[in-house]
């Protein structure tokens, strides 16, 4: 979708669909919507009155213009209650309206900035959220359909008649496009099947991105992984016929920076559970177990475009987790790169093993701050559902920054405790620790294990198992891979638009 901004009256813009809006409960539309209503002889007010259009968030209504204005049709998007209005509402309203426009086979769509007038939202934020909603909301995964159905909007034009808002609206729209396209790329990687998206495929993706975007890339092979002493990561890869890949992408800012942020993504391209095999229904969606990897890789593409003043290192220890004659057995003891030993009590707790070495590597490479994103535990999904990720953080400043970035980006985070007492649960009789600690508090046990490898650096662990993969539409994104964490990472590393 091409995105552009213009300063004009919406009554003058030629397009297939013009998107305006309405707060819930408003019966006499004002602002831009009021102007369109008057130009259409009061048709919008009439539909509100006769058909009971309430302006609920996600609700849309369509009005034909019959040539009264240059737009061929108008879609009115409900913004929900004015008291609850925020950027999340803008994304959902914009998504719903863009989906309706796509259903109407619109090619050129014009939209007002939701909430930048009566809603009082800064134009920059409104433009970003409006564009994110339109691009994320109209995503379709049709790569494997012989006859793809549906329609793509070719062009989105952001219209505002106030020239003083133009620069902000343009900057916000540009950021929104970059972020939303990164989200959709992550969704493509997650939704593509595990027979295609192998560790080698992720490595190729990183190499391609590096050459297109001007990033540095290093891919370590099985031999290098073993030589470096990454015994925890290597142990997960043993059952798979696919070679593991340890992927490092580095962004160096134009002006030298003394700060390096490492972002680490769990990259299990398929989690069968290994010898501690999952049952059929739990295994069904485990192609999504590389959602953390997808988030850090695609966020790097956005970072290369936005060029923040900080050095960023993206790390993915990519492998499948498969059973087989060479696979790691329950009871095996492995040694991670930092020398610590782990008893593998359950081969299905593989994510923390790969992250142990990936986080150690980040420390070794001089990261000042480490953020890992992982579809780590079913327990976190039970605790928080699909609406937010669990946040475990060793540093209060990093924690509050991440929570704020979560609110701004819509990738919500909820703090969970690194409760030291529970380290007891992962103490092993035969090694420094074991990789499971029983059913109770299992998201916490996973986080406590990874913390052992952060060497006291400010570190955050985001358990994205819930939001990574949607079983139903959430108003913004539909079923399947969601690209959780992509917008958060961009906000965290680049700041606001």
Judged by CB under 6 A, the stretch of 214-222, 225-233, 341-349, 404-412 that binds ligand BES is 341-349
Shortest separation between residue 381's beta carbon and ligand BES, angstroms: 5
341 vs 346, beta carbon nearer ligand BES: 346
How many H helices and E strands in the chain? Answer: 15, 19
Nearer to Zn ion, 89 or 268 (CB): 268
| Euclidean distance between CA atoms 378 and 443, whole angstroms | 8
SS3 488: helix
355 part of the interface to ligand BES, by CB under 6 A: no
Q: Is 232 in the site for ligand BES (CB under 6 A)?
A: no
Give the pair of three-digit tokens for residue 370: 């480490």
371 binds, among Zn ion, ligand BES, Mn ion, none (CB under 5 to 8 A by kind): none
Does residue 381 belong to the site contacting ligand BES (CB under 6 A)? yes
Query: Phi then psi for 147, rounded to 5 degrees?
Result: -125, 85
* Partner touching 369 among ligand BES, Mn ion, Zn ion, none, CB below 5 to 8 Å by kind: none
The residue of the chain with the least Cβ separation from Zn ion equals 271
428-457 positions binding Zn ion, by CB under 5 A: none
How far, in Å, CA of 210 to CA of 230, rounded? 24
- Considering beta carbons, is residue 306 or 418 the nearer one to ligand BES? 418
- Residues with Cβ within 8 Å of 429's Cβ and at least 6 positions away in sequence, in order, are none
Q: Kindly state the DSSP code that residue 77 receives in the 8-state scheme.
A: E
Residue 372 touches ligand BES, criterion: CB under 6 A: no
User: CB-wise, 130 or 269, nearer to ligand BES?
Assistant: 269
Name which position in 88, 244, 351, 483 contacts ligand BES (CB under 6 A): 351
C-beta of residue 102 within 8 angstroms of C-beta of residue 65 = no
Measured on CA atoms in the order 242, 243, 244, 250, is the torsion positive or negative? negative
491 in contact with Zn ion (CB under 5 A):
no
Regarding 194 and contact with ligand BES (CB under 6 A), the answer is no
Nearer to Mn ion, 353 or 367 (CB): 353
- By the 8 A CB rule, do 450 and 437 touch? no
CB nearer ligand BES, residue 301 or residue 441: 441
Establish if 354 lies at the interface with ligand BES (CB under 6 A).
no
Instruction: Measure the CA angle with vertex 118, ends 488 and 163; round to 5°.
Output: 80
> What region does 438 belong to: left with phi over 0, alpha with psi -120 to 50, or beta?
left
Please tell me whether residue 467 binds Zn ion under the rule CB under 5 A: no
Percent of the chain as helix, strand, coil, to the nearest 5: 40, 20, 40
What phi and psi, each to the nearest 5 degrees, are found at residue 168?
-65, -45
Cβ nearer to Zn ion, comparing 206 with 268: 268
- CA–CA distance, 439 with 80 (Å, rounded to integer): 40
Q: Which residue has the tokens 């790569």?
A: 143
Judged by beta carbon distances under 5 to 8 A according to partner kind, the member of ligand BES, Mn ion, Zn ion, none in contact with residue 377 is ligand BES
Binder of ligand BES out of 132, 181, 289, 452 (CB under 6 A): 289
**From CA 273, how far away is CA 477, in angstroms rounded?**
28
Phi-psi region of 41 (alpha: psi -120 to 50; beta: other; left: phi over 0): left
User: Which helix (DSSP H) or strand (DSSP E) does residue 171 occupy?
Assistant: helix 166-191
Which residues have a Cβ under 8 Å from the Cβ of 162 and sit 6 or more positions away? 7
Which member of 16, 181, 271, 491 binds Zn ion (CB under 5 A)?
A: 271
Q: How far is the CB of 463 from ligand BES (least distance, A)?
A: 9
- 385 secondary structure, DSSP code: T
Q: Which stretch binds Zn ion (CB under 5 A): 30-38, 142-150, 267-275, 446-454?
A: 267-275
Q: Which of 56, 278, 329, 407 is catalytic?
A: 278
Q: With contact defined as beta carbons under 8 Å apart, do 422 and 437 qualify?
A: yes
**Which of Mn ion, ligand BES, Zn ion, none lies near 465, with the C-beta cut-off 5 to 8 A by kind?**
ligand BES
Burial class (CB in 10 A: 0-12, 13-18, 19+), 120: exposed
Contact stretch for ligand BES (CB under 6 A) within 32-40, 47-55, 376-384, 400-408: 376-384
- Binding residues for ligand BES, total number by CB under 6 A: 16
Active site residue 311: no
Enumerate binding residues for Mn ion (CB under 5 A).
Answer: 271, 348, 350
- Closest-approach residue to Mn ion (CB): 348
**Using rule CB under 5 A, residue 16 touches Zn ion:** no
Q: Which of 99, 100, 245, 352 is the catalytic position? A: 352
351 is a contact residue toward Zn ion (CB under 5 A):
yes
Question: Is 349 a binder of ligand BES (CB under 6 A)?
Answer: yes
Nearer of residues 53 and 270 to Mn ion, judged by Cβ: 270
Q: How far is CA 195 from the centre of its chain?
A: 22
Among 132, 168, 288, 289, binds Zn ion (CB under 5 A): 289
Our finding on whether 448 is near ligand BES (CB under 6 A) is no
Q: Are 28 and 46 in contact (CB under 8 A)?
A: no
Q: Kindly tell me the burial class for residue 165, based on how many C-beta atoms sit within 10 Å of its own C-beta (0-12, 13-18, 19 or more).
A: buried
Stretch that binds ligand BES, among 21-29, 226-234, 301-309, 377-385 (CB under 6 A): 377-385
- 407 among known catalytic residues: no
Q: Residues 265, 295: contact at Cβ < 8 Å? A: yes
What residues are annotated to the active site? 278, 352
Q: Which residues bind Zn ion (CB under 5 A)?
A: 268, 271, 289, 351
Q: Which residues bind ligand BES (CB under 6 A)?
A: 271, 289, 346, 348-351, 375-379, 381, 436, 442, 465
């Amino acid at each position: 979708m091409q995105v552009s901004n213009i300063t004009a009256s919406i009554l003058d813009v030629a397009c297939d669909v013009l998107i305006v809006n309405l707060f819930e409960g408003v019966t006499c539309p004002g602002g831009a919507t009021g102007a369109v209503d008057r130009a259409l002889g009061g048709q919008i007010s009439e539909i509100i009155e006769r058909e009971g259009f309430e302006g609920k968030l996600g609700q849309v209504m369509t009005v034909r213009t019959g040539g009264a204005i240059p737009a061929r049709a108008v879609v009115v998007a409900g913004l929900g209650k004015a008291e609850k209005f925020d950027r999340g509402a803008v994304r959902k309203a914009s998504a719903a309206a863009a989906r309706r426009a796509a259903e109407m086979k619109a090619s050129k769509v014009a939209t007002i900035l939701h909430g930048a007038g009566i809603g009082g939202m800064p134009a920059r934020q409104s433009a970003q959220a409006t564009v994110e909603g339109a691009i994320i909301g109209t995503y379709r995964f049709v790569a494997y359909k012989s006859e793809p159905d549906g329609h793509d909007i070719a062009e989105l034009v952001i219209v505002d008649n106030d020239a003083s808002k133009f620069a902000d609206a343009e900057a916000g729209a540009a950021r929104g496009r970059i972020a939303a396209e990164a989200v959709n790329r992550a969704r493509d990687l997650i939704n593509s099947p595990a027979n295609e998206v192998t560790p080698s495929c992720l490595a190729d993706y990183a190499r391609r991105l590096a050459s297109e975007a001007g990033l540095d890339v290093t891919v370590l092979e099985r031999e290098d992984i073993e030589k470096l002493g990454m015994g925890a990561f290597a142990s997960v890869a043993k059952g798979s016929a696919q070679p593991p890949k340890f992927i490092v992408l580095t962004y160096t800012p134009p002006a030298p920076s003394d700060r390096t942020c490492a972002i680490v993504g769990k990259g299990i391209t398929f989690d069968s559970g290994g010898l501690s095999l999952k049952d059929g229904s739990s295994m069904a969606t485990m192609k999504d177990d590389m959602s953390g990897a997808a988030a850090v890789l695609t966020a790097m593409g956005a970072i290369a475009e936005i060029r923040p003043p900080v050095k960023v290192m993206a790390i993915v220890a990519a492998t499948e987790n498969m059973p087989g004659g060479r696979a790691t057995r329950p009871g095996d003891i492995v040694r991670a790169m930092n020398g610590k030993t782990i008893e593998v009590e359950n081969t299905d707790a593989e994510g923390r093993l790969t992250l142990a070495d990936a986080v150690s590597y980040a420390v070794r490479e001089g990261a000042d701050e480490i953020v890992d994103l992982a579809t780590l535990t079913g327990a976190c999904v039970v605790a928080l559902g699909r609406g937010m990720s669990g946040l475990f953080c060793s540093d209060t400043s990093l924690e509050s920054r991440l929570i704020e970035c979560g609110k701004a980006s819509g990738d919500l985070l909820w703090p969970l405790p690194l409760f030291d007492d529970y380290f007891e649960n992962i103490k092993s009789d035969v090694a420094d620790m074991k990789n499971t600690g029983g059913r109770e508090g299992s998201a916490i046990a996973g986080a406590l294990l990874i913390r052992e490898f952060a060497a006291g650096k400010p570190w955050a662990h985001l358990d994205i198992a819930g939001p990574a993969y949607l079983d139903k539409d959430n108003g913004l994104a539909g079923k399947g891979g969601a690209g959780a964490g992509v917008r958060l990472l961009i906000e965290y590393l680049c700041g606001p638009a």
